[in-house]
């Protein structure tokens, strides 16, 4: 753990964890404050002398800062490994890539499972409510600490895309370009509804213990697993599920019971069971709530274009997927409409795929080509070779 | 293809340097790139094909995937100096509405389209009794994207109906250099393979204000 003062040696290495001193209290949208903020982050590549090649990647709900390197808990490759590397949209040979765990997360940044310095016990539900804007505010603190004034790009999918939009609204002078993939400028009733199902599953688990499970040495694994199973369906498309599983059985014949007869059941159970090994239930509650509260236009008189009024000089690339029913193309189109109305430089591509929302995590050649082309040309005009 | 490039050349001459341009149906961005490079325009594009948009992104152009029939409504009024619709009006579902939209979004519209009154087209239909296929209309009826073909007279009549002013127009034929024309003359409806029109809506600022590029000699001679 480092303090802000001895942070600089970390630049160009692989990141670490910064603890912000009392002069850098994180002021939250709720009115609460978060003192003693710690941010865990990873970096890839080197910051150039002009400090003009920094790219901030914003992660989605259940992901983390390990975008292109082995995950410390699962041992799996980084979640966006196919997006980072030579000949890929983000190239450590050219870009200084930063990704930090969001506030409220559970991979090293302060969240509900962190120790509350006032009590010496995990925060649990005494952790303040957080928003997407709070996550972005914390990222800005990190960027300050890394000595970076303007980011070359802020890039993210899903909840990461929401943070990208928030960056453009709150810090338009601190980013040169923005890539927003499979996201929305606000959470829909359906989005909130699915999240509520997940939260209720967690809170219905007797081991949740009113959020105090960590102090009591238990974990609401069943509830969190069910939340993950339900959510996972929303990340895929009907066509993808059908193609992958159909009505394929786990073994010959029916069990005439409630075992996992179908492969899809077994798959979802596995998704749920492996998720609880790497994610904290309270973080799931807090972060899903932050997403539900997200409505970028609300802070701008209900007019989304007003949120982007100061971001006219930012180059935007907005992408959606045809089979994404969680954040459907119409959501991206309304972002683009607002960007147009604000006079911003907006580009938009709807990518044809049957892989659903999670397509942004997959090897989607059209997406990669679009983002590569966009960042390449933005890099040229920014003077990044 | 040479006709189309001639078409681009005319558009280049027409557009005022440094102006704001929306190119609708911008393809892979060739025209937008030329406009940015040679006229310093602040350009935006609208293109239906994702591959076209990706190609534009790689050229550093700001292009939105969408189609003229549906997505022009997303643009605020008078956001551009020019809305360009090059060889696209005949492919949209509602040409009348699209034309009106162009002049809502932009002060001026530049529209080019194939002339179905061109003599080869007329002769082809008369002689063979089948849908004409010419250089400008090169695909069979069952494969063509052109669903609303019209003659120059049809087009000028639509402009009259919408009270759209034709500030300037030129004919293109056989790949030759553009030739300024008076589209109301019947002979032009025979001999122009394509028409290009500079349009404005009633009450738009006078063309003289658009110095120097919008002078009457923009289409050459």
Angle value at C-alpha B36, between B34 and B39, nearest 5 degrees: 90
* Separation between Cα atoms, residue B217 and residue A97, nearest integer Å: 52
Can A357 be counted among the known catalytic residues?
yes
User: Residues A85-93: contacts with CB within 8 Å, 24+ apart?
Assistant: A88/A368, A88/A372, A89/A155, A89/A368, A89/A371, A89/A372, A89/A375, A90/A44, A90/A55, A90/A57, A90/A155, A90/A375, A91/A45, A92/A44, A92/A45, A92/A46, A92/A68, A93/A45
Taking residues A24-50, what's their average pLDDT?
94
Catalytic residue among A100, A158, A177, A320: A158
**pLDDT tens per residue, range A127-147:** 999 999 999 999 999 999 999
Min Cα distance B60 → chain A (Å) is 5
Nearest CB to B65; choose among A350, A372, A373: A350
* pLDDT of the residue at B203: 67
Can A158 be counted among the known catalytic residues?
yes
Q: H or E stretch including A223?
A: helix A221-235
Please count the other Cβ atoms lying within 10 Å of the Cβ belonging to residue A220: 25
Contacts of B62 in chain A (CB under 8 A): 315-316, 345-347
DSSP-based three-state secondary structure for A384: coil
> Predicted confidence band at A5 (pLDDT cuts at 50, 70, 90)?
very low
pLDDT at residue B1 is higher than 80: no
* Separation between Cα atoms, residue A333 and residue A105, nearest integer Å: 29
> Predicted confidence band at B109 (pLDDT cuts at 50, 70, 90)?
very high
* Separation between Cα atoms, residue A7 and residue A1, nearest integer Å: 9
Q: Are A86 and A95 in contact (CB under 8 A)?
A: no
Closest chain B residue by Cα to residue A380: B60
Q: H or E stretch including B63?
A: strand B62-65
**pLDDT tens per residue, range B168-199:** 999 987 677 889 999 999 999 999 999 999 99
* ipTM for the assembly: 0.85
Q: Are A179 and A163 in contact (CB under 8 A)?
A: no
Contact B74 A317 (CB under 8 A): no
Can A187 be counted among the known catalytic residues?
no
Closest chain A residue by Cα to residue B53: A349
* pLDDT of the residue at B136: 83
* pLDDT of the residue at B173: 77
Point out the least confidently predicted range of A143-152, A358-367, B36-45, B132-141: B132-141
**pLDDT tens per residue, range A86-124:** 989 999 999 999 999 999 999 999 999 999 988 999 999
Catalytic residue among A205, A324, A332, A358: A324
Taking residues B83-91, what's their average pLDDT?
94
Nearest CB to A377; choose among B44, B60, B79: B60
Residue B204 DSSP class: P
pTM: 0.91
**pLDDT tens per residue, range B54-69:** 999 989 899 999 999 9
Contact B57 A380 (CB under 8 A): no
Task: Give the number of C-alpha atoms closer than 13 A to the C-alpha of residue A189, restricted to the C-beta side.
Answer: 0
* Separation between Cα atoms, residue B151 and residue B142, nearest integer Å: 20
Q: Of A172, A113, A158, A167, whose CA–CA distance to A135 is shortest?
A: A167
Burial class (CB in 10 A: 0-12, 13-18, 19+), B133: middle
**pLDDT tens per residue, range B3-54:** 457 788 889 999 999 999 999 999 999 999 999 999 999 999 999 999 999 9
B216 phi, psi to nearest 5 deg: -65, -15
**pLDDT tens per residue, range A256-273:** 999 999 999 999 999 999
Q: Are A57 and A156 in contact (CB under 8 A)?
A: yes
């Amino acid at each position: 753990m480092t303090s802000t003062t001895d942070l600089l040696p970390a630049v160009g290495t692989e990141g670490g964890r910064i603890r912000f001193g009392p002069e850098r209290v994180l002021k939250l949208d709720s009115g609460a404050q978060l003192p003693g903020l710690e941010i865990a982050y990873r970096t890839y590549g080197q910051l150039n002398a002009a400090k003009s090649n920094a790219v901030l990647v914003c992660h989605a709900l259940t992901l983390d800062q390990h975008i292109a390197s082995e995950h410390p808990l699962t041992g799996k490759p980084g979640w966006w490994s196919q997006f980072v590397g030579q000949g890929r949209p983000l190239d450590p040979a050219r870009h200084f890539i930063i990704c930090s765990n969001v506030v409220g997360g559970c991979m090293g940044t302060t969240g509900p499972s962190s120790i509350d310095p006032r009590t010496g016990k995990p925060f649990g539900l005494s952790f303040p409510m957080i928003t997407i804007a709070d996550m972005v505010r914390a990222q800005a603190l990190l960027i300050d600490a890394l000595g970076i004034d303007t980011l070359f790009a802020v890039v993210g999918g899903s909840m990461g895309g929401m943070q990208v939009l928030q960056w453009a609204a709150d810090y338009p002078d601190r980013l040169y370009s923005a890539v927003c993939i499979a996201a929305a400028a606000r959470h829909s009733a359906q989005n909130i509804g699915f999240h509520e199902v997940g939260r209720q599953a967690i809170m219905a688990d007797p081991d949740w213990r009113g959020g105090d499970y960590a102090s009591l040495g238990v974990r609401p694994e069943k509830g969190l697993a069910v939340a993950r199973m339900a959510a996972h369906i929303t990340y895929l498309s009907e066509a993808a599920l059908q193609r992958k599983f159909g009505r394929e059985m786990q073994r010959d014949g029916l069990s005439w019971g409630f075992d996992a007869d179908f492969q899809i059941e077994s798959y979802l159970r596995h998704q749920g069971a492996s998720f609880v090994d790497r994610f904290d239930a309270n973080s799931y509650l807090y972060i899903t709530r932050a997403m539900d509260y997200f409505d970028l236009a609300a802070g701008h008189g209900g007019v989304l274009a007003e949120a982007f009024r100061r971001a006219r000089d930012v180059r935007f690339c907005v992408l959606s997927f045809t089979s994404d029913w969680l954040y459907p193309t119409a959501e991206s189109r309304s972002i683009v409409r607002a960007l147009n109305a604000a006079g911003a430089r907006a580009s938009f591509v709807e990518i044809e795929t049957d892989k659903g929302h999670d397509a942004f995590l997959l090897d989607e050649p059209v997406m990669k080509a679009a983002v590569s082309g966009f960042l390449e040309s933005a890099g040229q005009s920014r003077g990044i070779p | 293809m040479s006709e189309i490039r001639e078409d681009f050349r005319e558009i280049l001459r027409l557009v005022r340097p440094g102006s704001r341009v929306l190119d609708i149906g911008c393809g892979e961005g060739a025209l937008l790139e030329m406009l940015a490079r040679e006229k310093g325009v602040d350009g935006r594009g609208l293109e239906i094909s994702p591959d076209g948009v990706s190609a534009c992104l790689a050229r550093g152009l700001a292009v939105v995937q969408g189609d003229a029939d549906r997505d022009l409504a997303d643009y605020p009024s008078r956001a551009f100096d020019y809305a360009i619709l090059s060889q696209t009006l005949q492919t949209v579902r509602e040409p009348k509405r699209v034309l009106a939209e162009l002049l809502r979004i932009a002060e001026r519209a530049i529209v080019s389209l194939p002339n179905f009154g061109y003599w080869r087209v007329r002769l082809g239909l008369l002689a063979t009794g089948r849908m004409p296929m010419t250089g400008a209309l090169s695909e069979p009826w069952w494969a063509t994207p052109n669903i609303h073909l019209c003659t120059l007279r049809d087009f000028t009549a639509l402009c009259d109906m919408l009270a759209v002013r034709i500030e300037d127009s030129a004919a293109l034929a056989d790949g030759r250099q553009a030739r300024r024309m008076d589209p109301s003359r019947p002979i032009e409806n025979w001999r122009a393979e394509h028409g290009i029109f500079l349009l404005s809506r009633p009450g738009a600022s006078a063309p003289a204000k658009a110095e120097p590029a919008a002078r009457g000699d923009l289409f050459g001679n």
